[in-house]
Chains A and B, each alone.
Chain A
């Protein structure tokens, strides 16, 4: 693959909009995915994830705005984009009457790989996805998880720099999902940039380093996965562990930055008025009032919680 300069982002969209008649599927999307990112694309059904990925894969033309993939414009230079990406749609699209090797050989030829190179590459990608022993099997005879892995092998056949994966783990059993995630992490380690859309947010949280949340075609959040909770939360929740929870509650709720408090399972749960509030005042108040403090921690907001808080479940 021709290498784009490292300074160029893997994906850069500006004001990207796509309408179907009066319905706006994608509304002014400004997104940047850096090279080497494992980027989660999150949204409800009909939020605009697939539309975004299909524009990046050159299947759809934007109504307005621009999208560049590794420096190439998806509208003016689609051939260059196709050589650089591997696109896996949310359906299998396999030829069930083909053998695994035939299938990969066919797509290798579509990417203009010479016959000798194709044979070696097929062996390599099958090894990567753990299907070396199935290379002579008919695709229709394989399980859904295996077919999904064949799909992944297909997108890797020409060694693309960017992978666009639309719901790659949907419909897979837990083991197949875990295996798929392990393969994606390995691909990231090999330097691939991966954009993955999924509904399984708990897995995206552990898998991705950055994410974007989209609803009704509009970008709500983009940034690090770890910071999503902090960035989007309107308040901080602190858990105070003390043997004297009932005594501590009125003292702590009287603090100026505390909005409300309650005792839950013997611990004091405090909701601070804003996310920048100073939590050390809690420890100070406990000590000054002679209360024993055995634990003080900030509640981490998971991706699922963030998603539920920032979206309204609206679809188009």
Chain B
């Protein structure tokens, strides 16, 4: 057990972070709110049915959190050590690769399990209503821990592969999404191609997905008619075993990757080669472009160099296009329906917004962490120039992808209008609202990303907070409103449904985006220099989370 010191160190660090406790508080708070919401919405049902509904809701959320939390907790655990140059120091002790991995895994696991445990009292509510057995709950706990283990191990593997925290998190989430969805897509495609003649083949593929066991458990065993029949229990066990094996494979892969990589020299950028004939003219052209952009605004040139940021939006659109072509080729006309249109629009909007948040946070965060921002601020370049350069660069990167997405929305909308039914105006409102919120959110994410990227030490934390504030809050506010309205014994307001509901969501989203944009722009204008040249300080209290910015400027000068 030589890895205990690693666990000890990791837990000490986590214990000092206010976000550790805040995360638990938010998890429990959000789940309580959702529980209450379901309780009020389904208040008329029989107690046993209500108990099952409550259980299904909070258990589904728990599975989702387990799938993401593990990756989040471990994806930067090894990459951080590599960036800081402390990984080699660990290997200089008696520790082996697998022990470092186990230490990190255990530390992340303990933090996640503690958060999970904090939500357990909520599960008492469904039990009080009845309709659940202890065995159901036990199955749920074991399968949730299983998903968490897979998530932690895939996060570790991503962390062993990557050096950059954002890339590691992205790779971890992609691996998890791949583990969940690839077997399901394979099952769907197999079922479609086999024409329903071989359901066991599709079930075989689906069994490899970590989502299968939770799905079967919740919707077949607890909520379905099959109950605790032997067949369903066997299927759940099989799926859990495959998940467990995949998790162990992740740990082994992380360990071997780490052992191989740490000895290798840190990758040094290659020296630029002497240009040849055609390269010379290309370099001359690049030089002229550079001179032009530098004369316009040096920071614009700097921020525009983010090649990954330029390519990624087109990658998202390209992937969506390929998936669409795949869907059309497999499902034919069945694929072209309103549900698929709206799901596509929602997912593409979501992916693009996440990218905007990530890229907006990155440049300032990187420059501040490396100290380069301080050097830039020692020049006569003004804060206004820096902000303008960064904004212009982001507009340059995302202007055309956003236009393409809006165009896609329009095409979907036109397609719908051509086949309009009774709910034509509602669907039209959905698309128009979605397009308006896309633009408003993009602007708000840009400003918030820039401010939080500058202010926070880690890019991933800045991105998470940006996304929560701009994208998640309107949804939370809407759910809260619906819950509060459900509390009222009589109808004071018009019923929240249809177009009224969409308009309400539109107003919330636009207002929220406007608010955060204003707040971030105000902070950027007033506190940029003080924040960029200040030192990072450990945050210990919850209050820090809500602080707009620490007063980095000294007290006013005494009168002379």
Residues of A whose CB lies within 8 Å of any CB of B are: 18-19, 54, 57-64, 66, 75, 79, 82-83, 85, 87, 89, 91-97, 99, 102, 105-112, 114-115, 118, 136-138, 140-141, 154, 158
Contact = CB atoms under 8 A, between A and B. Distances in A.
Contacts of B270: 138, 141
Contact of A91 (B272, B371, B380, B382): B371
A99 B283 CA distance: 12
Contact of A109 (B294, B305, B378): B294
Interface stretch (B35-43, B51-59, B295-303, B513-521): B295-303
Contacts of B295: 109, 114-115
B294 to A, nearest CB: 4
A79 B371 contact: no
Interface of B: 268-272, 274, 290-291, 294-295, 298, 301-302, 305, 370-372, 374-382, 533, 553-555, 557-558, 560
B379 A59 contact: no
Contacts, number: 97
Given A93-B372, A138-B270, A106 B294 contact: yes
A108 B301 CA distance: 13
Secondary structure dominating the interface of B: loop
Contact of B380 (A83, A99, A102, A105): A83
A12 to B, nearest CB: 15
Contact of A136 (B269, B272, B301, B377): B272
20 contacts: A58-B378, A60-B533, A61-B554, A61-B557, A64-B558, A79-B382, A87-B375, A87-B378, A94-B370, A94-B372, A95-B372, A105-B290, A106-B301, A107-B298, A109-B294, A112-B380, A136-B272, A138-B269, A138-B270, A141-B269
B374 A59 contact: yes
A109 B374 contact: no
Given A60-B533, A89-B374, A108-B294, 4 more contacts: A59-B377, A59-B378, A87-B375, A138-B271
A63 B557 CA distance: 6
Contacts of B560: 66
Contacts of A110: 298, 376, 379-381
Contacts of B376: 110
Contacts of A63: 554-555, 557
Nearest to B560: A66
Contacts of B290: 102, 105
A99 B272 contact: yes
A64 B72 CA distance: 45
Contact of A115 (B291, B370, B554): B291
B370 A93 contact: yes
Contacts of A99: 272
A61 B558 CA distance: 12
A300 B371 CA distance: 41
B272 A93 contact: no
Nearest 4 A-B pairs (CB), nearest first? A93-B371, A109-B294, A110-B379, A109-B298
Contact of B269 (A82, A97, A107): A97
A58 B262 CA distance: 41
Given A59-B378, A107-B379, A111-B380, A89 B294 contact: no
A136 B274 contact: yes
Given A93-B370, A93-B371, A137 B554 contact: no
A79 B380 CA distance: 6
A163 B295 CA distance: 25
A159 B375 CA distance: 16
Contacts of A62: 554, 557
A89 B371 CA distance: 9
A177 B526 CA distance: 41
A17 to B, nearest CB: 10
Which one of A75, A107, A111 has the highest number of Cβ atoms from chain B below 10 Å of its Cβ? Answer: A107
A63 B554 CA distance: 6
B554 A19 contact: yes
A82 to B, nearest CB: 5
A63 to B, nearest CB: 5
B269 A18 contact: no
Contacts of B382: 79
Nearest to A66: B560
